[in-house]
Amino acid sequence: MANPPRRPINPMDAAEALFKPAKKAPAPAVERALPSAKELVSLKIDRAVLEYFQQDGAGWQDRLNDALREALKGKISD
C-alpha cells in the first residue's frame, strides 16, 4: 500500500485521533487603563450613603468619586 488510508482502521487509533491535545492559545495582552479613565465596578454601600449622594440629582456618582478621592488625599502620601 503506497498511500496510507485517510481514516484509521483500528478503532483505538480512531478514538485517539479524536482526542489530540489542544493547542495552547497565546496569553491575552494586558491592557493598561489610562490614569484618568474611570472603571465600571459593582459596589455595595449603605442606603443612607446612596440617598445622601443622590439627593442633589444627576452627577451623584461623580460626587461620590470626589468624596472618595478627598478621603484618599492624606492616605496615599503616607
Rounded CA separation 22/70 (Å): 51
Task: Answer for the pair 47, 55: CB distance below 8 angstroms, yes or no.
Answer: no
Q: How many helices (H) and strands (E) does the chain have?
A: 3, 0
Average of pLDDT values for 20-34? 77
- Looking at residue 53, its pLDDT comes to 94
- Looking at residue 47, its pLDDT comes to 95
Question: pTM of this prediction?
Answer: 0.50
pLDDT tens-digit map of 32-71: 777 778 888 899 999 999 999 999 999 999 999 999 989 9
Whether 4 has a pLDDT exceeding 70, the answer reads no
